[in-house]
Amino acid sequence: MRIKIYVRAHVLCAAEALANHLRKLGHEAIIVGDIDQNDTTLHIIYCAFAAPAIPNKYIVYQTEVLNSKWFTEDYQRILDSALAIWDYDERNVLLMPSKAHWLIPPGINHQKLDGMRDIDVMHYGSINEHRRSLLNEIGDHCCIKIVEDVYGEAMYALLRRAKVVLNLHYYPNAPLEVFRIYEALSFACHVVSEPTNDAAQERNKEIVRFADSASVLKTHIESALECPFDYDLSAIDDFSFNAVKEAMSPYLSL
């Protein structure tokens, strides 16, 4: 089957991992940056609230935190009309009733690395009061490179240089930011994160260091900086692949 994957730059790494899964299943997967509303090709749409058009047949890969500002009436209509919703978070699946709502965390998109790691700790993403407070507290003890509004190849270049990626929540009680975390792991960066105390944290506890205070986050950063990156990422990638395989089965005759 031919499938087009619409994506924006900040989730490109996840879309590339998804395309790899689909190709392993025998599909022709193409990543696109535009949509023709008259196109009858099956589309998988990331960031559907910002899609330039909506095609005839589509699956929404839901990337947003439930009840965030992106959940507008227009976005809800797009979700309601989709063949299916794929989601990164169990809680979204439970709280957004749908006849075809699947849990599909992103996979791992292993990257070529040049070995130069001159950034000890990096945080990337928008900054709010919560993140700023923790970054200031942790930054008193170590140098953190803070990156905002950088995407695509420019972001990839920074990830190739980073030893540790610090993951802090933007929203209270947020689901685990697996798009950022798996992107960082794809570039062989250690990840130190605030906890979520849910199934996603349990699933990732062997490859991510979790802590709920600045002092322990700092301790985990120091530990990560002294360790080689030798994690086996196959289990989380297999989990994602098998979820995609199951979720695609209803559409093989399209």
Q: Which domain holds residue 102?
A: 2-107+236-251
What are the DSSP calls for 106-118, one per residue?
Answer: ---------S---
Q: Give the total number of structural domains in the chain.
A: 2
Percent pLDDT > 90 in the chain is 84
Q: Is residue 114 part of a domain?
A: no
Q: Are residues 103 and 156 in the same domain?
A: no
Q: With contact defined as beta carbons under 8 Å apart, do 15 and 46 qualify?
A: yes
Contact 123, 145 (CB under 8 A): yes
Domain membership flag for residue 188? yes
Q: Residue 136: helix, strand or coil by DSSP? A: helix
The Cα–Cα gap between 10 and 152 comes to 6
In a domain, 113, yes or no: no
132-189 pLDDT, tens per residue? Answer: 999 999 998 789 999 999 999 999 999 999 999 999 999 988 899 999 999 999 999 9
Residues 41 and 138 in one domain: no
Q: What is the pLDDT of residue 168?
A: 98
SS (H, E, C) 192-235: EECCCCCHHHHHHCCCCEECCCHHHHHHHHHHHHCCCCCCCCHH
For residues 25 and 94, state if they share a domain.
yes
Share of the chain above pLDDT 70, in %: 99
- CB-CB contact of 64 with 205 (8 Å): no
